[in-house]
């Protein structure tokens, strides 16, 4: 971590020279190819790593500033330039990557840098070529267009204007009429931009299909798995895993929703009733955003010395942008500034229990980055997304003993959090199977995509579909249009479900043996991305979600835990 680091708002804003970066990249490739010994080659690799550490710091800063305020003209222009130039730089770097994997000193370099770096690089070469630079530029522009469209949403409600995240608290209000009115406003607004979103996605699908075929793949499914770093599992394994969730988890989630409506006394549930868990309202976090940060400091002080130091470092350096506001992108994320060895948390607090979820979730990502910061090879500091999400989702459960700091009734929060986490799994695999179908059928019409989504909801979450009456937007299969991962990061979403199963394993273990669970969690964080997903979890002494019977063994203790809360 940087020894002397000012708060985030004082960090210098700089648009790097992409032409200069391309020239530097070409020089690195020439020097590497000319190396006479393994040591010379290693030194060139180190020079390149230092250069990209600083360069990535600057591009990450642009990306973060844009997500905080999409209306900032200076930052928007920098973001547009980056979208155009990054694929050109990526193309220029191909020569270095090719030289690395074919180096006569590969054995020496593998010993020094780790063999997995070469697997990562080989996948990178399979997933990109200079022949798809133009398509990559268009892809970046379309994703930015989607993000901006969603961020600029203005929903009129009771005399005020709100963005989409801000509507969340009204859609979970304990007053049914408020929820009904908010739901009508929310989905009514989405109806007005539905066709624009569908058109953006249609362009993205066709563009990605074109990219895949230019690179010699059957369709984008193959390319998508490569781009996501699926080193040790296949679409067939994922399909079998989805079926496990349908068989084991869908019935449990259906019972949870039935119990929810019984608990709230709602006999004829509608879409606007799905978000209310208790008759007297969902648990609402206490205090302001500043109060939540203070509560988190106390929680992480008590959890471990490592979490104590690191959360306070983040709060002190203002690398937390938490509240929803106009012009801000939706969702939440953690990103990392390699030069400063400092993560950044972005979210959209809206006054619901989700504020606490996202705070602990994104801190889990940040904590992993902190614990793996001393891995010398930058490419191996962070796991692939499936592994990274274990760190974040598990942290949500490790934080549960301190929920009394955030809620008047922590038991209700714990119940809701666990029930929602279980019920997430069928939705997560709906997203995944939908994307497989979309990219296997790239010429499908928007109406056919919507129909397929509805069909998959019937398959995995039939208990939800029954609530869609009187909501045209949801009944016609448009729910996926606001799932940003579908647009920006194809095939990412299954990673959340795989990680959720792993987080459940940590939760089950934590209640039996906290010291062992925390020790394994720290080990996982420190491993970073040194291993692919399945190898990573097995190295940590855990069971892969793909293993037969794991789903049943994982879910059964959770159902017993829910009953122990004595909520119903």
Here the tokens at position 353 are 């229990």
pLDDT of residue 122 exceeding 70, the answer is yes
As for how many domains the chain has, the answer is: 1
pLDDT of residue 204 exceeding 90, the answer is yes
Q: What is the pLDDT of residues 153-170, one digit of tens each?
A: 999 999 999 999 999 999
Average pLDDT over residues 226-252: 96
| The pLDDT of residue 1 | 62
Average pLDDT over residues 375-386: 94
In a domain, residue 121? The reply is yes
Q: What is the pLDDT of residues 314-343, one digit of tens each?
A: 999 999 999 989 889 988 999 999 999 999
pLDDT band at 497 (very low <50, low <70, confident <90, very high): very high
In a domain, residue 124? The reply is yes
Average pLDDT over residues 213-227: 97
DSSP assignment letter at 404? G
Contacting residues for 382 by C-beta, under 8 A, at least 6 apart: 336, 368, 369, 372, 388, 528, 529
Here the tokens at position 419 are 């029930």
In a domain, residue 111? The reply is yes
pLDDT of residue 74 exceeding 80, the answer is yes
pLDDT band at 273 (very low <50, low <70, confident <90, very high): very high
In a domain, residue 560? The reply is no
Q: Find out whether 367 and 307 touch, Cβ atoms under 8 Å.
A: yes
In a domain, residue 105? The reply is yes
- The residues that bridge with 424 in the sheet, in sequence order, are none
- The residues that bridge with 160 in the sheet, in sequence order, are 157
In a domain, residue 101? The reply is yes
pLDDT of residue 253 exceeding 80, the answer is yes
For every residue of 328-384, which 3-state class applies, written as one string? CCCCCEEEEECCCCEEEEEEEECCCCHHHHHHHHHHHHHHHHHHCCCCCCHHHCCCC
pLDDT band at 534 (very low <50, low <70, confident <90, very high): very high
Domain residue limits at 34: 9-129
CB crowding 247-274: b at 16 or more within 10 Å, else e = ebbbebbbebbeebbeebebeebbbbbb
pLDDT band at 70 (very low <50, low <70, confident <90, very high): very high
In a domain, residue 103? The reply is yes
pLDDT band at 2 (very low <50, low <70, confident <90, very high): low
pLDDT of residue 3 exceeding 70, the answer is no
**Mean of per-residue pLDDT scores for the chain:** 96
Q: Which is more confidently placed, 312 or 3?
A: 312
pLDDT of residue 382 exceeding 90, the answer is yes
Contacting residues for 177 by C-beta, under 8 A, at least 6 apart: none
In a domain, residue 109? The reply is yes
Q: Find out whether 4 and 11 touch, Cβ atoms under 8 Å.
A: no
pLDDT of residue 242 exceeding 70, the answer is yes
């Amino acid at each position: 971590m940087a020894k002397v680091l000012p708060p985030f708002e004082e960090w210098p804003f700089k648009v790097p020279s992409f032409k200069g970066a391309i020239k530097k990249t070409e020089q690195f490739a020439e020097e590497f190819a000319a190396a006479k010994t393994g040591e010379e080659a290693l030194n060139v690799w180190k020079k390149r790593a230092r250069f990209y550490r600083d360069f990535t710091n600057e591009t990450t800063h642009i990306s973060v500033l844009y997500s905080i305020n999409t209306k900032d003209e200076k930052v928007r222009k920098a973001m547009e330039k980056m979208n155009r130039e990054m694929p050109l730089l990526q193309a220029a770097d191909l020569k270095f990557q090719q030289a690395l994997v074919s180096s006569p000193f590969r054995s020496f370099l593998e010993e020094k840098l780790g063999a997995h770096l070469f697997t990562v690089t080989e996948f990178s070469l399979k997933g990109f070529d200079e022949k798809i630079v133009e398509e990559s530029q268009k892809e970046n522009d379309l994703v930015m267009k989607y993000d901006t469209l969603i961020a600029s949403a203005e929903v009129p409600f009771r005399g005020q204007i709100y963005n989409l995240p801000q509507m969340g608290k009204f859609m979970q209000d304990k007053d049914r009429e408020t929820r009904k009115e908010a739901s009508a406003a929310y989905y009514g607004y989405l109806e007005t931009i539905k066709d624009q979103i569908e058109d953006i996605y249609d362009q993205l699908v066709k563009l990605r299909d074109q990219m895949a075929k230019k690179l010699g793949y059957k369709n984008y499914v193959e390319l998508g798995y490569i781009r996501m770093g699926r080193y040790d599992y296949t679409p067939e394994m994922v399909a079998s895993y989805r079926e496990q969730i349908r068989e084991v988890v869908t019935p449990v989630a259906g019972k949870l929703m039935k119990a929810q409506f019984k608990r709230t006394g709602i006999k004829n549930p509608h879409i606007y009733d799905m978000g209310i868990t208790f008759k007297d309202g969902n648990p609402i976090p206490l205090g302001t955003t500043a109060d939540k940060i203070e509560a988190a400091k106390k929680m992480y002080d008590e959890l471990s010395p490592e979490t104590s130091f690191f959360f306070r470092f983040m709060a002190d350096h203002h690398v937390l942008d938490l509240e929803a506001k106009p012009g801000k992108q939706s969702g939440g994320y953690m990103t990392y500034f390699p030069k400063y060895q400092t993560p950044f948390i972005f979210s959209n607090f809206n006054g619901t229990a989700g504020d606490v979820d996202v705070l602990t979730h994104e801190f889990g990502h940040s904590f992993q980055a902190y614990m793996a910061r001393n891995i010398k090879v930058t490419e191996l500091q962070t796991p692939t997304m499936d592994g990274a999400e274990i760190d974040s989702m598990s942290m949500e459960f490790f934080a549960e003993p301190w929920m009394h700091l955030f809620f008047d009734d922590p038991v209700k929060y714990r119940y809701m959090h666990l029930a929602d986490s279980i019920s997430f799994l069928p939705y997560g695999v709906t997203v995944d199977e939908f994307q497989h179908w979309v990219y296997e059928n790239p010429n499908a019409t928007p109406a056919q995509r919507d129909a397929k989504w509805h069909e998959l909801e019937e398959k995995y979450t039939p208990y939800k579909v029954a609530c869609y009456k009187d909501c045209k937007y949801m009944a016609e299969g448009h729910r996926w249009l606001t799932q940003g991962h579908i647009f920006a990061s194809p095939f990412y979403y299954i990673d959340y479900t795989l990680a959720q199963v792993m987080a459940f394993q940590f939760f089950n273990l934590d209640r039996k043996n906290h010291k062992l669970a925390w020790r394994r969690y720290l080990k996982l964080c420190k491993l970073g991305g040194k291993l692919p997903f399945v190898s990573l979890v097995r190295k940590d002494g855990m069971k892969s979600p793909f293993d037969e019977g794991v789903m049943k063994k994982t879910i059964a203790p959770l159902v017993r835990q829910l009953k122990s809360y004595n909520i119903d």
